[in-house]
A and B are shown apart, each in its own frame.
Chain A
Amino acid sequence: MSKAHTIARLESLLARIHSRAEGPRVVAAARVVAAPAAPGPVPVMHAPPPREAPAVTEAEIVVDVEVQVATPETVLAVVVEEEPAPPAALESREQLVAAEPAPVAESAPVESEVEEEVRAPISSRRPIPPQPEEQLAAMAFGAEEPQPARHTPPPESGRLLAAPAADFDAEVTEVREAQKVASPVPLVPHATAAVLAPSDVVADVVGAPRPAVPATFVAVLDASLAL
């Protein structure tokens, strides 16, 4: 390996170090905070430096080590000082439980409630709110005539009156037997005889018989002349 070639490789390596030193520093600090810490106060200056995997896997490890030690340590120290130190008694699992819910997790249930309000059951008494298009139309052109409720109320539910137990036995589902009637008593005629006594006065004539109509006009005229 020539000297010029070595210098060129060093320069390219230096450029890579500079480029990598810009982005992943914050992520490395977060990882330091979330990592389980040892009990007791942790001196800031003695915090272990983050290890960059690509830097470790490089073939020219001797040259890399010399450069990495000099550059990122000061930046990592500043980031660690801004994070509050976790309690020494808490484990990493407890930290996850005690952590406050993220704002994103709070917004999700609200959306589900809205969907539930829109999708009311068929038997609900509440009318379905207008669709978004209808709302936009109402905002643009004004409210139209009030529309009647889309759903009629469901029938009244409740318990029905059952038939009296003496009249109907609900458990019997077969052909029912009629009540047995006692055999009738044989019919015997009861005769009643009238008592009729002989009598002389039976007929009663009322009034006089109607006179015969005169057959001729002269007879009629004579009757009228006799008045």
Chain B
Amino acid sequence: MGSSSFDPTNAVRFDLPQGRVHAGGDGERLLLVPTSAIDDIALSAPAEAVEALGRALGTAIGRRAKARLGDASSAPMEAFVTQLAGEVALAGVGVLGVERWGRALVVLVEGSPLNGSLLAPLIGAAVEAASGRGVACTLLSRDEHVARLFVGGDGGVGRVRDWIASGMPWADALARLQGGGA
């Protein structure tokens, strides 16, 4: 499509006689799950399981966004973000936005019910599925309203994660990643 506006018409179809919920043009079956159940899994399940769950959720969202974009490689920045943000909103994950800190790509998610351990693999997988590039993602910050995540390669994400774990502010970590800062 490549449209700069998101069209949610018939994005989700509820088949009440069959007791089914379908999303997207291919009719992927969905399951309405309470967020409390997802939180319980994220808190109790192993980290690999949580990451696998998050990537599965994100891959489904990214695939639907790619279906809307068509040729994602040539899609403008606004159009890509709009379609991806629309699918994220339909899934109930939150409001997605993008920031550029120099060359670093930072994704913002506002009002998400998911915690950081589940949100980081979800966003990474969604961008990967929508763009067709293999990406890594890590959580930079999280407060009551906004979660900020860095999307990059495996090496860069790994360094930023280590710097933040050592106590460096995430902005300084991004600056250092680009050759500046301490």
A positions within 8 Å CB-CB of B: 214-218, 220-227
- A226 / chain B contacts, CB cutoff of 8 Å: 103, 153
* CA of A226 to CA of B177, assembled, Å: 11
Considering residues A216, A223, A224, which has the most beta carbons from chain B within 10 angstroms of its beta carbon? A224
User: Cβ of B76 and Cβ of A227 under 8 Å apart?
Assistant: no
**Contact check: which of A214, A215, A221, A223 meets B131 at CB < 8 Å?**
A221
For the complex, what is the distance from the CA of A225 to the CA of B74, rounded to whole Å? 17
Interface residue ranges, B against A (CB under 8 Å) = 72-77, 80-81, 98, 100, 103-105, 127, 131-133, 135, 150-153, 155-156, 177-178
Contacting pair A218 B156 (CB below 8 A): no
Q: Which residues of B sit under 8 angstroms from A227, Cβ to Cβ? A: 103-104, 152-153, 155-156, 177-178
Residues of A within 8 A of B177 (CB): 227
Complex CA distance for A218 and B84, rounded to whole angstroms: 13
User: Closest CB-CB distance, B164 to chain A, in whole Å?
Assistant: 15
Q: Which chain A residues lie closer than 8 Å to B76 at the CB level?
A: 215-217
Question: Would you give the shortest CB distance from A88 to chain B, in whole angstroms?
Answer: 139
Contact B74 A224 (CB under 8 A): no
For A215, the closest partner residue in chain B by CB is B76
> In the docked arrangement, what's the CA distance between A220 and B73, Å?
11
- Collect the chain B residues with CB atoms within 8 Å of residue A214's CB: 77
CB<8 Å pairs between A and B, sample of 16: A215-B77, A216-B73, A216-B76, A217-B72, A217-B98, A218-B133, A220-B77, A221-B127, A224-B104, A224-B153, A225-B135, A225-B153, A226-B103, A226-B153, A227-B103, A227-B178
Chain B residues with CB under 8 Å of A221's CB are 105, 127, 131, 133, 135, 151
Residues of B within 8 A of A225 (CB): 133, 135, 152-153, 156
Known contacts A225-B153, A227-B178, A220 near B105 by CB under 8 Å: yes
Please tell me which one of the listed residues A215, A216, A224 contacts residue B151 in the complex, with CB atoms under 8 A apart.
A224
The minimal Cβ–Cβ distance linking B30 to chain A, given in whole angstroms, is: 26
Give the dominant DSSP class at A's interface. Answer: helix
Decide: A217 and B103 in contact? CB cutoff 8 A.
Answer: no
Contact (Cβ within 8 A) A217 B77: yes
A224 to B136 CA separation, bound complex (whole angstroms): 10
A217-B72, A218-B73 known; A224-B152 Cβ under 8 A:
yes
Q: CB-CB < 8 A to B81: which residues of A? A: 217
Q: Which of B72, B103, B155 interacts with A218 by CB under 8 Å?
A: B72
Q: Name B174's closest neighbour in chain A (CB-CB).
A: A227
Chain A residues within 8 Å of B73, by CB: 216, 218
Q: A217-B75, A217-B77, A225-B152 are in contact. List 20 more A-B contacts (CB 8 A).
A: A216-B74, A217-B76, A217-B81, A217-B98, A218-B73, A218-B75, A218-B132, A218-B133, A221-B133, A221-B151, A222-B133, A223-B103, A224-B104, A224-B156, A225-B156, A226-B153, A227-B103, A227-B104, A227-B152, A227-B153
Q: How far is the CA of A214 from the CA of B75 in the complex (A)?
A: 11
* Cα distance, A80 to B11, chains bound together (Å): 159
CA A214 to CA B131, docked complex, whole Å: 15
How far in angstroms is the closest Cβ of chain B from A209? 16
Chain A: CB-nearest residue to B80: A217
Chain A residues in 8 Å Cβ range of B132: 218
